[in-house]
């Protein structure tokens, strides 16, 4: 690891479905965080590490801060997000262009006690039909707190991300690198495999069901040219199980095929994947069950 350079932690925070994971993936230049059009896809604090030259940026992807529906899972998500602000050097707060909501105010309150530099990223500018409305909106949100800078961006298209990252780099402290230069996350392949499966579930299933299921890797082992993975998809109720499996098992088969392809890209060899759907009654409002399933920030 380098003996000197600039290095630090950068939290990416915002309400659900504002594009935090998409931003992280684009900044890293590779996919790490799972994404979907549904809110609260991200459930865990996740580090994405980018090392270039004498700079190492450790991005912290966080669950979306949100109000309402305060079961154990939602409390966990908010706690994971706010805990991610502790010890960081820079915060990138992501909001959506022309779409300020009550949950953005909720994030603003959470940032009130943060003394580190905060950059405001105004995302999804590529989706604006009226570009003239952007400047007044930027002026309006820029006065909500003391930002070190405000960037209109598109995480999806990559607009203004080079400038955003250059600003981040200038704000980082002089420090030795905290991770090896070739490491890009703190998470294991086992964890990432579970996230890949969950992404396929979120994208394929209806609006509510993805929030009532989780994935647990039961077995993960690698041979020379083959990786064996066995995973359990946990649902809350008996009636949810046939939805995940689908008619004649077609839904589960499609999810497995899509997940296996992504896993093979991740591990660099063939993957033998087995999926099982099981019921754990009321798991997402049971803090003990959440801890058993890997939600460890409780």
Question: Residue 263: CB partners within 8 Å, gap ≥ 6?
Answer: 193, 196, 227, 229, 271, 273
Strands (E), the chain: 6-13, 46-52, 55-61, 90-96, 118-123, 149-152, 213-222, 226-235, 270-279
242 is in an annotated binding site: no
82 is in an annotated binding site: no
Give the tokens for residue 81: 């997000």
Helix axes 161-171, 20-28, angle to 10 degrees: 80
Nearest CA to 92 out of 40, 173, 169 is that of 169
15 is in an annotated binding site: yes
107 is in an annotated binding site: no
3-state secondary structure at position 36: coil
Q: How far is CA 283 from CA 22, 71, 200, 215, in A?
A: 28, 10, 20, 12
Q: How far is CA 110 from CA 84, 171, 243, in A?
A: 12, 21, 37
Q: How far is CA 232 from CA 103, 136, 226, 235, 258, in A?
A: 33, 49, 20, 10, 16
63 is in an annotated binding site: yes
14 is in an annotated binding site: yes
222 forms bridges with which residues in the sheet?
A: 227
74 is in an annotated binding site: no
24 is in an annotated binding site: no
21 is in an annotated binding site: yes
297 is in an annotated binding site: no
18 is in an annotated binding site: yes
Distance of CA 205 to the CA centre of its chain: 19
77 is in an annotated binding site: no
16 is in an annotated binding site: yes
Pairing of strands 213-222, 226-235: antiparallel
Nearest CA to 55 out of 208, 203, 171 is that of 171
Pairing of strands 90-96, 149-152: unpaired
Q: Which residues are annotated as a binding site?
A: 14-21, 61-65, 123-126
**Binding positions for GTP:** 14-21, 61-65, 123-126
């Amino acid at each position: 690891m380098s003996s000197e350079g600039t290095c630090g932690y950068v939290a990416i925070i915002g309400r659900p479905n504002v594009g935090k994971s998409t931003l992280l993936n684009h900044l890293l230049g590779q996919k790490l965080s799972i994404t979907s059009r549904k809110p609260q896809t991200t459930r865990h604090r996740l580090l994405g590490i980018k090392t270039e030259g004498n700079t190492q940026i450790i991005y912290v992807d966080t669950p979306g801060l949100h109000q309402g529906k305060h079961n154990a899972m939602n409390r966990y998500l908010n706690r994971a997000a706010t805990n991610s602000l502790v010890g960081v050097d820079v915060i990138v707060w992501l909001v959506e262009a022309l779409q300020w909501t009550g949950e953005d105010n909720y994030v603003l309150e959470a940032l009130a006690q943060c003394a580190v530099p905060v950059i405001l990223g105004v995302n999804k500018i590529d989706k604006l039909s009226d570009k003239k409305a952007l400047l007044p909106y930027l002026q309006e949100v820029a006065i909500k707190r003391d930002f070190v800078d405000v960037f209109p961006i598109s995480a999806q298209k990559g607009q203004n991300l080079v400038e955003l990252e250059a600003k981040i780099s200038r704000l980082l402290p002089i420090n030795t690198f905290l991770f090896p230069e070739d490491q890009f996350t703190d998470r294991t392949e086992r964890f990432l495999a579970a996230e890949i499966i969950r992404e396929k579930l979120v994208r394929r299933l209806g609006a509510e069901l993805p929030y009532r299921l989780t994935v647990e890797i039961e077995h993960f082992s690698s041979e020379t040219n083959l990786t064996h993975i066995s995973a359990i998809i946990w649902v809350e109720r008996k009636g949810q199980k046939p939805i995940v499996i689908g008619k004649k098992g077609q839904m589960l088969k499609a999810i497995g095929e899509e997940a296996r392809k992504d896993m093979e890209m991740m591990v660099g060899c063939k993957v033998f994947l087995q999926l099982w759907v099981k019921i754990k009654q009321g798991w997402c409002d049971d803090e003990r069950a959440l801890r058993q399933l890997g939600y460890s920030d409780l």
